[in-house]
Structures are given as structure tokens and as C-alpha cells.
Amino acid sequence: MEDVPADAWRRTVDRTSEPGREPGPINLQRYAFAPPYAGIATLFGLPLCLNQDDLRAGRVDVAVLGAPVDMSTGHRGAAFGPRAIRADERCLPHSPHLLINPSTRVKPFEELTVVDYGDAAVDLFSIDNSMEPIRALVREIAETGAIPIVLGGDHSILWPDAAAVADVYGAGNVGVVHFDAHPDCAPHLAGHLASHATPIRRLIEDEHIPGRNFVQVGLRSAIAPEDDLLDWMREHGLRAHFMAEIDRRGFDVVLQQAIEEALDGPEYVFVSLDIDVLDPAFAPGTGTPEPPGLTNRELLPAIRRLCHEVPVVGMDLVEVAPHLDPGCTTTMNARRAVFEALSGIAARRKGLPGPDYLDPRVAGPPPDRQA
């Protein structure tokens, strides 16, 4: 039997025999206008980049990366999330230049150069081995000045994702706004340090991100956190906004506070969106659903607003499990969340005013002028 190298899972393709090409994004679409079920599925039909030379030559603003790792508890299947999100569109053509945000009238793909960066290497037998290749590829994007948006995979990838951005922008200089039903800061999961339940503990204890610079929104798990975990969160200064607070004070009030907390200290912000922050009515296709949660009418504008009003330098979107998503509701909301993030980044680039910018042609009169 032929010897197989131990790192076979992360070896790159030998391209030495391929024809040479100038660096830059590669458009994989044959036709300018194609139905959503045709062509090669990159996110929104975007061009592909393979390395930093491509990113730099293309002056890329945002690069979307898949991190298909899925080895934690709950229902499995989030490893298929990146592929499902890329292929989700069922109505619109694969023509990004046609897309416009209906609330702000911003065309993100006219304001930004956005590409698909493929997937990170994943060791299908080891979640621990998978962390560093993901971190390396996220760092590869951030080093060029582009904003990485990472599609998971389970929430273990927050550890390498946020750490990679902190590698580039400086430890202690990047805060995290974390939308989730679960606090994800357990010390371990059945003895394992790397899991979807532990990434925040890893980031804080490894000193990539100070605890006071974590802002959490939507927590409501029925089995956690235990009192000792709540005590740990308070001791490390995490700003945690549970659904109980949202129910009592209102989502808009809590979101405004979260934005102010995100700007309290660090110069930059990483956004981590676990799709299970949505109520299962809007996101049934996830590994650990928890009712009652946010609606898409709350979450999607919040993502757009955050990326508009805060200097976001990275984002991940995790825990989409397409085999549990019979109506494609979860992938549709996940893909829209990425579009809202891009719309917010584009609005910031355009210099549109805040807070909560809406185009007056579609927003109607302000509340104080309504009859």
C-alpha cells in the first residue's frame, strides 16, 4: 500500500504545469446573465481569488472564505453550510451588479470589490488540526487589507477567525460582537478545548481578545450557562445581553447599547453570527436550536447597521446545517445576513449618515411626522 503523508488533508494542488496567468480575480461564470441554478456556485456568483497576489492585484475589499468544520455536539451537518449558502439563491440571477439593498438603496457590489476565496483546509478527523489552517487563511485575507467573511461550519471557527484578525490588527485592538443563543465560553466540552461551545474561552484565555471587549446578544440556552459560567463571564467583563433583557427593554435599545459597547475600547470589531440566534421559526436548519429567539426583521437590519456604524474588519456566520432546513429558510436568512453586512460596509464606504440609515424614498416619514 502506498504511503500517505500525514498532512495529505492540507496539501495544496500542484499548479506548476498549468498555464501562467496574471494575478487577479477569476470570473468563473460563462454568461453575464444566468439563472440561479446554472453555473459554478460561488457566493452571489462572485469571482474567485486563490492567493494573496490575486487579492492585491484585484484591490479586493471583502473576501468570503468557507471553513467547513463540524465535529462538535448537537445535530451535525454544519460542514455543508458554506456550500449551501453559496448555492442558496433560488430566484435572482448570478449577477451581483444587479443586487440593491431594498432599505438603503445601496448597491454593495458597485461600492466594493468582493470575491470568493474558496475554503480552508479541514482535517475531517481532527477539529484541533483544523484550527490553524483556518486561522492562516483568514490572516492571509486580513493581511492584504481585505475584510474576511467566513462561512461555517460550527462555531469552533470563531477561535481561529477572531484570533487571525487580532494577529493583523493587534491583540486587544479588536472587539467582538457575538449574536448567539449560547454563550460559547465553556472551559471545555467533554475534555476537548476546541469545540463549538468553547471559542470565547479560548480567545480570552489566549489573550487575543479582552473579555470586556466581547459583546453578546440573544443568549437564552435552556441548559447553559450554569451559575459558575455566569460568574466567569462577569469576572472577565463580558457584556452579555440575554433574551430576557431584550424582552424587557426592547431590541432597539439593547442593540444601541451593544453598538456603544463595541466602540468602547478597541479600534476595530469582529462580528460573529451564529444563525441559531434566530428563532427556530426563521432558522430551523441549525445544530442546537433554541426558542424563543430573534426574528429576521430584528437581526438582518442589526447586522447592516453594525457594519455601517462600526469599523468591522471581519465576520463569521456559523452553524447552518442544510440537512435540517427543509424549506431552505435558514440558508436564505444566512445568505441575506451576508448581503446586509456587505450593504453596511458599502454604506460606511459611501459615507452615508447614521444611525440606522434608511433611504428616505422607501422609509416613509420619520415617526415624529407621522399622522
Query: Closest by alpha carbon to 278, among 337, 338, 230?
Result: 337
pLDDT of 76 above 90: no
Give domain status of residue 19, yes or no: no
> Using 50, 70 and 90 to split pLDDT, how confident is the model at 126?
confident
334 in any annotated domain = yes
CATH code of the domain in which 211 resides = 3.40.800.10
Supply the DSSP string of 185-229, one letter for each residue: --S-BTTBSSSTT-HHHHHHHTTSS-GGGEEEEEE--SS---HHH
On whether the CB atoms of residues 149 and 62 are closer than 8 A, the answer is yes
Is the pLDDT confidence value at 256 over 60?
Answer: yes
pLDDT tens column, 320-369: 999 999 999 999 999 999 999 999 999 999 999 989 999 999 999 877 76
Q: Which residue has the higher pLDDT, 94 or 21?
A: 21
- According to DSSP, the residues that pair with 63 across neighbouring strands are 115, 148
Residue 91 has pLDDT above 70, yes or no: no
Q: Which residues contact 156 (CB under 8 A, 6 or more apart)?
A: 69, 71, 72, 127, 131, 194, 195, 196, 198, 199
Q: Is residue 4 part of a domain?
A: no
Cis peptide before 58 (omega within 30 of 0): no
Q: Is residue 31 part of a domain?
A: yes
Q: Tell me what pLDDT residue 63 has.
A: 98
Residue 47 preceded by cis peptide, ω within 30? no
Query: Is residue 288 one of the residues assigned to a domain?
Result: yes
Q: Is the pLDDT of residue 226 over 90?
A: no
193 has pLDDT over 80: no
How many whole angstroms separate alpha carbon 153 and alpha carbon 312? Answer: 21
- How many alpha carbons fall within 13 Å on the CB side of residue 299? 32
Q: For residue 273, which of 239, 245, 296, 247 has the smallest C-alpha distance?
A: 296
Q: Which domain holds residue 354?
A: 24-362
Q: Are 136 and 84 in contact (CB under 8 A)?
A: no
Share of residues in the chain with pLDDT > 90 (%): 69
Neighbours of 77 (CB within 10 A): 20
Q: How confident is the model at residue 229 (pLDDT cuts 50, 70, 90)?
A: confident
Q: Is the pLDDT of residue 38 over 90?
A: no
The number of domains in the chain is 1
Per the domain annotation, does 12 fall within a domain?
no
Residue 168 covered by a domain: yes
Tell me: pLDDT of 225 over 60: no
Q: Which pLDDT band, with edges at 50, 70 and 90, does 97 fall under?
A: confident
C-alpha cell read off for 231: 460568574
Phi first, then psi, for residue 280 (nearest 5°) are: -55, -20
Tell me if residue 144 falls in helix, strand or coil.
coil
Model's pTM, two decimal places? 0.94
Q: What percent of the chain has pLDDT over 70?
A: 95
pLDDT at 96: 82
150 falls within a domain = yes
Give Cα 182 distance to the centre of its chain: 16
pLDDT in tens, 174-184: 999 999 999 98
Tens digit of each residue's pLDDT (9 = 90 or more) over 267-314:
999 999 999 999 999 999 999 999 999 999 999 999 999 999 999 999
Q: What is the mean pLDDT of the chain?
A: 91
